[in-house]
Amino acid sequence: MKIHSTVFTTIFLAVSFNILGQTQEIRLFSHRGGRMEHDENTIQAFKASYEAGYLGFETDIRMTKDGEFVITHDSSLERTTNGEGQVEHKTKDEISQLRTKHGNKMLFLEELLDFLKDKPGLYVEFEMKTNPESLYPEKRLHEYCDKLYRMVMEKRPADATYVFTSSDYRALRYIQTHYPDADLLLITSKPCNNETIALCKTVGIKRLGATMNGTSRESVRQAHKAGLIVSLWPGQSIEDFMLGAYLGCDYMCTDIPIKLKNWIAENTPWIKVKY
């Protein structure tokens, strides 16, 4: 008899956690507002995730030609909008005229911060999209980091955890040097392993965002022993969530926030999930 992989994983995890006598807690957050369920990085996506019970979000920040922050993952406009060219070569007014492929307006950081400012218990990752380096040479990078930090922290609710994340260590280093109170996360396309644990320790960043592929339970334990908080990606399926839970991560993004939340409620009562 063939057993569906999700059912098998659920049974396997239930046995594992019962043997260990553990109740795990994971903070789930909606990646780009739930990009596989909604129009990514739009106010509609963030509102849908919030209305489904999420207070954890991840988003991407790029800077226009005239120094305004727009919520979008890609530098190129072609994949998600009806525009052409690069975000960094457009003005705010030009970006404002565009629509996403689903017909929604482009979202600016100020609008997102206004939506979040009265929400309790938030966890939000603001990914600093400062690559390619040619679009963000040092002077522009410094302008980006200074302005972003001030805008985000000015409207941060008192009990919120706002985290500045990046795969560009230049941006992380600048924030770390000039705003030592900032909560930082290093994003890597590598797994949680000896190399990435050592890198975080060396640069003094306590949050590691690593890929599930190649990560082991032992490596996550070692990261915890080193005082690191482990966030794993991607989160494109229920199987991804179950793997992340087995590996013992602290945080996990999801592209399917509503589907996953409903599934968790029905299938994994031994895992304490915070949304």
Residue range 153-165: average pLDDT? Answer: 97
Residues near 8 by Cβ (< 8 Å), separated by ≥ 6? none
Q: With a cut of 60, say whether residue 18 has pLDDT above it.
A: no
Provide the mean pLDDT of the chain. 92
Is the pTM higher than 0.85? The answer reads: yes
Cis peptide before 120 (omega within 30 of 0): no
Specify the pLDDT at position 10: 44
Specify the pLDDT at position 269: 73
Q: With a cut of 60, say whether residue 9 has pLDDT above it.
A: no
What is the Cα–Cα distance from 149 to 67, expressed in whole angstroms? Answer: 14
Supply the angle between the helices 138-154 and 109-116 in degrees, to the nearest 10.
20
Residue among 27, 62, 29, 57 nearest 43 (CA): 57
What is the Cα–Cα distance from 106 to 265, expressed in whole angstroms? Answer: 33
pLDDT digits (tens, 9 = 90+) for 98-109: 999 999 999 999
Q: With a cut of 80, say whether residue 149 has pLDDT above it.
A: yes
* Alpha-helix residue ranges (DSSP H) falling in the chain: 5-20, 43-51, 92-96, 109-116, 138-154, 169-178, 194-203, 217-225, 238-247, 257-267
Specify the pLDDT at position 272: 87
In a 3-state reduction of DSSP, which class is residue 256?
coil
CA atoms within 13 A on the CB side of 202: 7
Residue owning tokens 């999930």: 273
Residue range 120-145: average pLDDT? Answer: 97
pLDDT digits (tens, 9 = 90+) for 221-269: 999 999 999 999 999 999 999 999 999 999 999 999 999 999 999 888 7
Q: Torsion over CA of 119, 35, 262 and 192, rounded to 10 degrees? A: -90
Lowest mean pLDDT, pick from 5-19, 82-96, 224-238:
5-19
DSSP 89-138: GS-HHHHHT-BBTTSPBPEEHHHHHHHHTT-SS-EEEEEE---SGGGS-H
What percent of the chain is predicted at pLDDT more than 70?
92
Walk me through the domains of the chain, giving residue ranges and CATH numbers: 23-185+250-274 (3.20.20.190)
